[in-house]
């Protein structure tokens, strides 16, 4: 069963900002970033419970292949809620504040 995926507004903004930043660094890199995110989100939708739970939360984390990002999501019935598309070097308290 494949789950429906919903990006929270903050996660959508992070996605857009990251894609824009990569395109500024190198033309065409946005498309590669978008493909990587799409691939991870597809894997999440197919098997969401196979991803680890972040300690101290009900949030799961999927790392993005060649980019230093993690997709932080929650499983709710048949819906996956993406709370953050988070650069792995950032302070995790930032995204945790969105959920608590």
How far are the Cα atoms of 5, 13, 32, 45, 87 from residue 50, in angstroms, in the given order?
16, 26, 24, 10, 21
Structure tokens at 77: 């019935």
The pTM (predicted TM-score) of the whole model is 0.88
CATH number at residue 71: 3.30.2310.20
Q: Could you list the residue range(s) of the whole structural domain that residue 16 is in?
A: 4-99
Q: What pLDDT was estimated at residue 96?
A: 61
**Do residues 5 and 41 lie in contact, with contact meaning Cβ atoms separated by under 8 Å?**
yes
Q: What is the predicted pLDDT for the residue at 2?
A: 75
Q: Are 86 and 14 in contact (CB under 8 A)?
A: yes
What is the reported pLDDT for 94? 66
Residue by residue, pLDDT tens for the chain (100 residues) are 678 999 999 999 999 999 999 999 999 999 999 999 999 999 999 999 999 998 878 899 999 989 999 999 999 888 999 999 989 898 766 666 666 5
Number of domains forming the structure of the chain: 1
């Amino acid at each position: 069963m494949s789950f429906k995926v919903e990006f929270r507004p903050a996660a959508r903004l992070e996605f857009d900002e990251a894609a824009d930043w990569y395109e500024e660094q190198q033309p065409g890199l946005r498309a590669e970033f978008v493909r990587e995110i799409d691939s991870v989100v597809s894997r999440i939708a197919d098997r969401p419970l196979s991803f680890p739970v972040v300690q101290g939360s009900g949030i799961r984390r999927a790392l993005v292949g060649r980019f230093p990002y993690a997709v932080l999501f929650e499983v709710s019935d048949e819906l996956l809620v993406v709370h953050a598309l988070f650069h792995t070097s950032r302070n995790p308290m930032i995204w945790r504040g969105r959920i608590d």
